[in-house]
Structure formats: structure tokens, C-alpha cells
């Protein structure tokens, strides 16, 4: 069965992890495009403030204070959408938790908590969404990572959950396709994105954690998510640097291991970067929210050619084909001009 998705302007979109980073960037852009929104997160104060901001701009918004690690909370998110808007068209699993540190430094309880949020919360959300969308159709969009492809040293627990997220997303997609359910299932794979991720993560490192360079704007992730809400895609990468990490892991795993052992710690810590104590470590309790961008001062790329190529593969292929021809034409013109002058 072919999957037909509505324009974002005609959709009701459910999004977890809505109060910061990629999630907040997405809800703001979705509201700008006219979507109805159901925002879910643990931080009630931040949810209320964001909802008020969006409603002031004319958006229709419902909120649900929820911890996706609770199955009952995830079901309440869906019920909020049904009670308020009669249902939903796209479900975005964006909520995440993280920790920096060696595997043996991270307590088992923290490993379990990260899995409860990143994997089991996403799995429950995906299954709830699939049950609702099985007859009417729609999109399930899961936030993975380039770390779904290649584990990062000192982010072992997070990397493990993102590997699991990829497997669960692929399995669910196959099962829905096998039953001809009109549901698109997309895995979004960002590279390093300039969000409050390192500020919110629990850290067992001596220096303040950071994301490795090069970082990309969270609004690019929002663009990818909303593109997937309208256009069925298997996966979308954001950031060529992150994709190179994935490729290195596929084709040269030992070299990738060696590089991470050499530079992985320095690339993920920065003693000169200030951190906001009010935002630090939200693993078990919500902390300061409401910011799309991280507060650490680094260069941030505002565009991703790789993302654009995935959104318009025919245009990308044409550009690759026309590019060399244009160079040849330019060279031929130049030779002609030189001949005439001589």
C-alpha cells in the first residue's frame, strides 16, 4: 500500500522532548507552518511557556506533562491528542537522555534509565502511534543519531540506545509494510547538533562535556523531521561530518576505534566552556529548559548539503552530472577565448 502524507499545515503532530533543542526547534517551525501540536515533556513550566508563545502566534497547541519512560504517560500523550484534536497524523519520538563517561563509571541504574527513555520510551511511542495510524495513515519519526551506526567513546550508553533505536525502527517499518499499513517510518540521524545536549547530560568526566566539532544548527533537524512528516523516507542524515563518522565505522572500524581512542576525550570535553548549573544533569528530573541552541560557544553550520541531497535526490544527481559538464564547457569557452585573442 502506498503511503500518502498530508502537508504539515493540515496535520496534528505529536512530539516528545518538546521543551529544548531539536524538539523545540521542530515545534516552532511546525507551528509557523500551521500544524496543530501536542507537546510532551517532563518540565511543566517550560511546556506552559512554550505553549503560550505558540498560541500567541495563532497556533493550536495542547500539552501533556509526561515522562516517556512511563508507559502510562505515553498512552496519556496519545489520549491528549485524541481528546483535543480527534487524533494525530505524525508522531515524533524526540525525547532523550544521556551520560558522558566510561562504561564502568556509569552506574547500572543510569544505564537502565537511559534505555528506559531512549529505547523503551521510543518503542512505546512508536507502538502507540502505529496502533492509531494503522487505518488512517500517517508518519512515525524516530530520532536516532550517527551513533546509531558507530559507537562513540565515552558515550557508550547513549550509543547503545541509538543502535537499539535503529533496529527497532527498521523492524517496525518492515512489519508495517508487510501488513500494508499506510504508515511511513523514518529514522533521523543527526550528527553533532548545537543543542543543550551536553548541558543536560549526566557527566562522569572531570571537564565540562561538549559535542565534537563540526556542529550543525538544530533547525536543520527540524527541517528534516517536517520533511519526513510530508515525504516518506527510510532515513535522513543531518551533517556531512557525522555521515563520515558512520562511513568510517562501516569501512574502517579498527581505524575508527584508533582515532576515537586518540582524540575522543579531548573532542568531547572543554574546560574553558562555562555550563549553566540550572540546566545540568536532567537524567532523572527535569532541569532548566526552553532553549533550542546550546550555550557553549562554537562554530555552528547553518546548512547541510547532505540533507538537501537526500530531500531532492534527483536534483542532487543532476547537480553531480551537470557540474563536470559545466567545468568542461567553461574550459572550452576559455580555450576559445584564448585562441581568438592570439
Domain regions of the chain by residue span: 8-311
Q: What is the pLDDT of residues 235-255, one digit of tens each?
A: 999 999 999 999 999 999 999
Does residue 340 have a pLDDT over 50? no
Confidence class of residue 276 from pLDDT cuts 50, 70 and 90?
A: confident
How far is 271 from 154, CA to CA, in rounded Å? 16
CB atoms within 10 A of CB 105: 13
Residues 219-245: what's their mean pLDDT?
96
Q: What is the pLDDT of residues 101-147, one digit of tens each?
A: 999 999 999 999 999 999 999 999 999 999 999 999 999 999 999 99
Q: 8-311, what's its fold?
A: Rossmann fold (3.40.50)
pLDDT computed for residue 278 by the predictor: 86
- Spatial contact of 227 and 311, defined as CB atoms under 8 Å apart: yes
Place of cell 563520515: 244
- Spatial contact of 237 and 243, defined as CB atoms under 8 Å apart: yes
Q: Which of 24, 44, 315 is nearest to 197 (CA)?
A: 24
| DSSP E strands, the chain | 12-16, 36-41, 61-65, 90-93, 99-100, 138-143, 183-190, 202-203, 215-216, 235-238, 300-301
pLDDT computed for residue 341 by the predictor: 40
Give the CA radius of gyration of the chain: 21
| DSSP E strands, 137-287 | 138-143, 183-190, 202-203, 215-216, 235-238
Residues 8-30: what's their mean pLDDT?
98
How far is 114 from 121, CA to CA, in rounded Å? 10
Does residue 187 have a pLDDT over 90? yes
Residues 58-72: what's their mean pLDDT?
98
Residues 165-183: what's their mean pLDDT?
98
Does residue 337 have a pLDDT over 90? no
- Spatial contact of 131 and 87, defined as CB atoms under 8 Å apart: no
How far is 173 from 139, CA to CA, in rounded Å? 11
For the chain, the average pLDDT equals: 92
How far is 69 from 276, CA to CA, in rounded Å? 25
Confidence class of residue 317 from pLDDT cuts 50, 70 and 90?
A: low
Report helix angle 21-32 to 218-230, nearest 10.
50
pLDDT computed for residue 2 by the predictor: 81
Does residue 322 have a pLDDT over 70? no
Place of cell 531532492: 312
Residues 299-321: what's their mean pLDDT?
83
pLDDT computed for residue 35 by the predictor: 98
pLDDT computed for residue 279 by the predictor: 86
Establish whether the linkage from the previous residue to 330 is cis, with ω within 30° of 0.
no
pLDDT computed for residue 273 by the predictor: 76
Residues 195-219: what's their mean pLDDT?
94
Does residue 154 have a pLDDT over 50? yes
pLDDT computed for residue 314 by the predictor: 79
**Quick one: the chain helix, strand, coil %, rounded to 5?**
50, 15, 35
Confidence class of residue 316 from pLDDT cuts 50, 70 and 90?
A: low
Residues 75-99: what's their mean pLDDT?
98
pLDDT computed for residue 318 by the predictor: 58
Q: What is the pLDDT of residues 286-306, one digit of tens each?
A: 999 999 999 888 999 999 999
Q: Which of 189, 186, 162 is nearest to 172 (CA)?
A: 186
The catalytic residues are: 158
pLDDT computed for residue 321 by the predictor: 55
pLDDT computed for residue 324 by the predictor: 52
Amino acid at each position: 500500500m502506498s503511503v500518502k502524507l498530508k502537508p504539515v499545515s493540515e496535520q496534528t503532530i505529536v512530539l516528545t522532548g518538546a521543551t529544548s533543542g531539536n524538539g523545540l526547534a521542530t515545534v516552532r517551525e511546525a507551528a509557523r507552518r500551521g500544524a496543530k501540536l501536542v507537546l510532551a515533556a517532563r518540565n511543566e513550566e517550560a511546556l506552559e511557556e512554550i505553549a503560550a508563545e505558540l498560541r500567541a502566534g495563532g497556533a493550536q497547541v495542547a500539552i501533556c506533562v509526561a515522562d516517556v519512560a512511563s508507559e502510562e504517560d505515553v498512552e496519556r500523550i496519545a489520549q491528549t491528542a485524541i481528546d483535543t484534536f480527534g487524533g494525530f497524523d505524525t508522531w515524533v519520538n524526540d525525547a532523550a537522555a544521556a551520560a558522558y563517561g566510561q562504561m564502568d563509571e556509569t552506574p547500572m541504574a543510569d544505564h537502565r534509565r537511559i534505555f528506559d527513555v531512549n529505547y523503551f520510551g521510543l518503542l512505546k511511542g512508536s507502538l502507540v502511534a502505529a496502533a492509531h495510524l494503522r487505518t488512517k495513515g500517517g508518519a512515525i519519526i524516530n530520532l536516532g543519531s550517527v551513533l546509531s551506526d558507530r559507537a562513540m567513546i565515552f558515550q557508550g550508553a547513549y550509543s547503545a540506545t541509538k543502535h537499539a533505536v535503529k533496529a527497532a525502527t527498521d523492524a517496525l517499518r518492515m512489519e508495517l509494510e508487510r501488513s500494508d499499513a499506510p504508515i511511513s517510518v523514518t529514522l533521523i540521524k543527526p550528527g553533532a547538533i548545537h543543542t543543550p545536549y551536553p548541558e543536560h547530560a549526566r557527566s562522569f568526566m572531570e571537564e565540562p562535556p561538549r559535542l565534537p566539532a563540526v556542529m550543525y544548527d538544530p533547525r536543520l533537524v527540524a527541517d528534516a523531521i517536517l520533511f519526513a512528516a510530508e515525504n516518506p523516507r527510510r532515513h535522513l542524515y543531518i551533517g556531512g561530518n557525522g555521515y563520515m563518522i558512520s562511513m568510517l565505522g562501516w569501512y574502517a572500524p579498527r581505524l575508527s576505534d584508533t582515532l576515537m581512542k586518540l582524540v575522543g576525550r579531548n573532542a568531547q570535553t572543554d574546560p574553558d566552556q562555562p555550563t549553566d548549573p540550572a540546566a545540568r544533569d536532567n537524567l532523572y528530573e527535569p532541569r532548566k529548559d526552553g532553549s533550542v541552541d546550546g550555550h557553549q560557544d562554537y562554530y555552528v553550520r547553518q546548512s547541510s548539503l547532505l540533507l538537501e541531497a537526500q530531500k531532492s535526490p534527483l536534483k542532487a544527481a543532476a547537480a553531480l552530472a551537470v557540474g563536470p559538464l559545466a567545468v568542461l564547457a567553461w574550459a572550452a569557452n576559455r580555450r576559445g577565448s584564448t585562441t581568438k585573442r592570439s
